[in-house]
Amino acid sequence: MEVEKGKTFKYLKDKREVSSGVIENLKYFNKMKKMIIGALTESKMTIPQLTKKINMPESEIVYYLMTLVKYGYVQTAEVDDMDEYFYYKIKNNG
């Protein structure tokens, strides 16, 4: 019996349906990721600076920023002059 590669993935994809809530959450995460990385492309920023730039609640910025740190898109830089906040910058993988 010959085994075809990728059949399991196709079978599971056809068998299981992804809920619309999951799809909407993924779309929102990707939107937030794009906004935060876009802001950090200009320069490194602290959380209060990102909050002003993106104009969203700080708690939401922290949640998505920490997720981006966890998955390796963003990294911490030095502490600001008042020793209050870390700067965040895009992770250089190369």
Tokens 């085994």 identify what position?
3
Q: What is the pLDDT of residues 1-40, one digit of tens each?
A: 666 777 888 888 888 888 999 999 999 999 999 999 999 9
Q: What is the pLDDT of residues 31-41, one digit of tens each?
A: 999 999 999 99
DSSP letter assigned to residue 5: T
> Which residue intervals of 3-85 are DSSP H helices?
7-15, 20-42, 47-54, 58-70
Q: How far apart are CA 66 and CA 74, in angstroms?
A: 8
Name residue 45's beta-bridge partners: 88
